[in-house]
C-alpha cells in the first residue's frame, strides 16, 4: 500500500528483523528506537513469538514507558504492554489441534505449543525446540499425550523438523488446512500454524481499529513469509536485506543492511529523518 502523509507508527517483526542472529538488540538499534519513541512515534512489536518471548525485547525498548503494543503468535493475540491487557485473541480449534498432532506423527515432525510460560511438546525436543527454550528462557515440558496436556486455549502450534522436509510439506499442509488454519514457513526448521484467516495483518487491523490508526500512517518491517500480510497492509512495507526474494517482492522498500548490520537503523533514517537524519 502506498503511504499518504508522514508515518507516525513503526511496526517491527522481531526475529530476523529487530534482533541479530544472536537474538539480541544491537545497541545502535536500541538507541534509534528509543529516540523514535521519545519523539512520539508509536512502536509496535509483531512477532510469531508468544508474549513471554516478546516481553524481554519490549522491556529493552521501554514499551511500557512509551505506550507500546505487542502483536503475538502471528496475530492471534494483541496486548497493551504496559497493562498486559488483551485487546484481541483467537484460538486454534480442538479439531484442528487434533489433526495437527496426527499429521505431526504421520510425517515424523515435532509439535510444540506454549502454556503458562512453558514450551509444551509431544516428543523428545529437537534442536529448534531446544534453541527456542534457550533464548526465550521458557522450560520444556514433555507430554506424549499432547492433546490431554495442552492448554485449553492454544493460539499457535509449531511443527518442527528438518528444513528440506518442512519446505516440501509446507504447500501440502497449507492446502490440507485451507479454511481451517494458516500455515507459515517462517524459519527453516519450523512451520507456524495459527487460526484460520489470522496473521499479523489481522492483529494489526484489530489494534489500529482500537487506536484509530490508519494503515497509511504505518511503516511495517519484516523478513519472512509470515510478515507478507502486514507488509502489504501497511502504508510502507519494508523487507530486510536478509529476507527471501519472495518476501522482498511484496515490499515497498528493501533495506541495504541486514538484521546483523543495523538494518532497522537504516529504516529509522529513511522514514523518520527527524529522529536520525540521513
Specify the pLDDT at position 5: 66
Specify the pLDDT at position 1: 57
pLDDT digits (tens, 9 = 90+) for 151-204: 989 999 999 999 999 999 999 999 999 999 999 998 999 999 999 999 999 999
Average pLDDT taken over every residue of the chain? 95
CATH architecture group of domain 9-89+199-271: 3-Layer(aba) Sandwich (3.40)
Return d(Cα 231, Cα 225) in angstroms, integer.
10
Domain boundaries, the chain: 9-89+199-271, 94-195
Phi and psi based region of residue 78 (left: phi greater than 0; alpha: psi -120 to 50; beta: remaining): beta
Dig out the grid coordinates for 119 from the structure: 514450551
For residue 78, pLDDT over 70 is answered with yes
Specify the pLDDT at position 3: 53
φ, ψ of residue 63 to 5 degrees: the values are -65, -30
Specify the pLDDT at position 277: 78
Specify the pLDDT at position 4: 54
The reply to whether domains 9-89+199-271 and 94-195 share a CATH topology is no
Specify the pLDDT at position 34: 98
pLDDT digits (tens, 9 = 90+) for 119-146: 999 989 999 999 999 988 899 999 989 9
Distance of CA 165 to the CA centre of its chain: 22
Strand-by-strand arrangement of the 190-195 sheet: 140-142, 118-121, 110-115, 157-160, 190-195, 181-187
| Topology (CATH level 3) of domain 94-195 | 3.30.1240
Using N-to-C axis directions, what is the helix angle for 51-60 and 127-136, rounded to 10°? 40
Amino acid at each position: 500500500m502506498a503511504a499518504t502523509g508522514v508515518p507516525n507508527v513503526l511496526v517491527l517483526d522481531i526475529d530476523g528483523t529487530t534482533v541479530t542472529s544472536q537474538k539480541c538488540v544491537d545497541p545502535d538499534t536500541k538507541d534509534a528506537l528509543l529516540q523514535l519513541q521519545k519523539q512520539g512515534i508509536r512502536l509496535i512489536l509483531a512477532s510469531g513469538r508468544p508474549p513471554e518471548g516478546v516481553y524481554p525485547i519490549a522491556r529493552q525498548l521501554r514499551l511500557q514507558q512509551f505506550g507500546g503494543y505487542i502483536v503475538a503468535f502471528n496475530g492471534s493475540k494483541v496486548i497493551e504492554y504496559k497493562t498486559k491487557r488483551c485487546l484481541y485473541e483467537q484460538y486454534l480449534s480442538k479439531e484442528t489441534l487434533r489433526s495437527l498432532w496426527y499429521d505431526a506423527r504421520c510425517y515424523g515432525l515435532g509439535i510444540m505449543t506454549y502454556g503458562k510460560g512453558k514450551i509444551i511438546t509431544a516428543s523428545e525436543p529437537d534442536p529448534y525446540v531446544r534453541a527456542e527454550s534457550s533464548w526465550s528462557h521458557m522450560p520444556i515440558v514433555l507430554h506424549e499425550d499432547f492433546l490431554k496436556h495442552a492448554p485449553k486455549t492454544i493460539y499457535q502450534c509449531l511443527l518442527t523438523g528438518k528444513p528440506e522436509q518442512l519446505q516440501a510439506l509446507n504447500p501440502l499442509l497449507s492446502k490440507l488446512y485451507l479454511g481451517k488454519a494458516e500455515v507459515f514457513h517462517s524459519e527453516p526448521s519450523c512451520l507456524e500454524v495459527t487460526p484460520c484467516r489470522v496473521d499479523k495483518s489481522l492483529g494489526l487491523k484489530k489494534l489500529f481499529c482500537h487506536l484509530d490508526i490508519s494503515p497509511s500512517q504505518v511503516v511495517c518491517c519484516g523478513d519472512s513469509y509470515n510478515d507478507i500480510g502486514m507488509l502489504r497492509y501497511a502504508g510502507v512495507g519494508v523487507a530486510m536485506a536478509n529476507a527471501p526474494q519472495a518476501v522482498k517482492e511484496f515490499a515497498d522498500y528493501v533495506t541495504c543492511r541486514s538484521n546483523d548490520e543495523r538494518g532497522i537503523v537504516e529504516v529509522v533514517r529513511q522514514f523518520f529523518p527527524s529522529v536520525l537524519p540521513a
